[in-house]
Amino acid sequence: MGNLMNKVTVVGSINLDTNLRVKRMVKPGETIHAKEHYSAGGGKGANQAVAASRAGAQTSFIGAVGDDAPGKQMMDLLKNEGIDLTGIDTIADESTGQAFITVDDEGENAITIYAGANFAFGPKEIAQKSALLKDSDFVIAQFETPIAATVKAFEIAHEAGVKTILNPAPGEDHISEELLKVTDMITPNETEAETITGIHVEDEASARKAAAKLHELGVDVAIITIGSKGAFYDYNGVSELVPAFKVKAVDTTAAGDTFIGAMSSILKPDFSNLKEAILFGNKASSLTVQRYGAQPSIPYQKEIEAK
């Protein structure tokens, strides 16, 4: 692998997660007791940054928090992970993003998000951080922050020859074509792939059709994660379903985020080791789903590399 660390910059969301463990999901009009309650770091952006950093990448973050207690808590958490926080703005009169997550005994989750500061920045704030973007191997973004900000970040990255990775989650009905034009790699799950391409993805054949559509939209590398089946990639005329590791999942929160962060930590910018990087991502996410919580469940490089 060499000891040259990838420089990964994540443009994205920072949430404080409030987690509840319940026997089963609550029904409308019903009151139930939770078995456990805890708060932890979350937000797709922050999860991906933590995953990249723990997997060995030199990681920077661009985003925003509110001037409040959850914001300070999240900044401390990210700082403890060794993530460069110079790209994070603290916004007065704004709440830090929060997510309320319920996980039942089957490992299913239901999530309600309050975006707060995650939606309080745009292209102007991104432009001020262009040095950080240009000094990266990869720039990663998701859909929990403003699209206009992401487009700007990807444009700056593209002009500097920096590769961009779009995680189109949570699913959007319509993805801006100007964003896809500056996206080098897209990593939807099967539901998100269907939302973007209109093709129902359930196996390798349907994933290949969806990937062809993503290439048409201007994206070079398509990776479609198909739950416990694994990750299908299609790049440069080569495609394959890389199987997932068989494990007993207790909580799938942050599985996709772990996959992307870990993969980006060892991926070569010319995508020449794509399959190896996907395997590394699969291994990392297989560890995440065996533990509770978002960021607390994300593995470290030595755990992923352990056979």
Q: Is 13 annotated as a binding residue?
A: no
Task: Note if 257 is an active site residue.
Answer: yes
Distance, in Å, from the CA atom of 19 to the CA atom of 277, rounded to the nearest integer, reads 31
**How do 97-103 and 109-114 pair as beta strands?**
antiparallel
Distance, in Å, from the CA atom of 47 to the CA atom of 298, rounded to the nearest integer, reads 8
Q: Is 228 annotated as a binding residue?
A: yes
Give me the half-sphere count of Cα atoms (radius 13 Å) on the Cβ side of residue 124: 2
Q: Is 164 annotated as a binding residue?
A: no
Sequence-ordered list of residues with C-beta below 8 angstroms from that of 302, at least 6 positions apart, any chain: none
Question: What's the token pair of residue 114?
Answer: 């309050």
Q: Is 257 annotated as a binding residue?
A: yes
Annotated active-site residue in 68, 84, 137, 257: 257
Q: Is 229 annotated as a binding residue?
A: yes
Q: What single letter denotes the amino acid at residue 169? A: A
Residues 212/233, Cβ–Cβ less than 8 Å? no
Q: Is 282 annotated as a binding residue?
A: yes
Q: Is 208 annotated as a binding residue?
A: no
Q: Is 171 annotated as a binding residue?
A: no
Residues 249/270, Cβ–Cβ less than 8 Å? no
Q: Is 62 annotated as a binding residue?
A: no
Known binding positions for substrate: 15-17, 43-47, 144, 257
Residues flagged as binding site: 15-17, 43-47, 144, 189, 225-230, 251, 253, 256-257, 282, 288, 291, 293, 297
Annotated binding site for ATP: 189, 225-230, 256-257, 282
Active-site residues, by number, are 257
Binding-site residues for K(+) sit at 251, 253, 288, 291, 293, 297
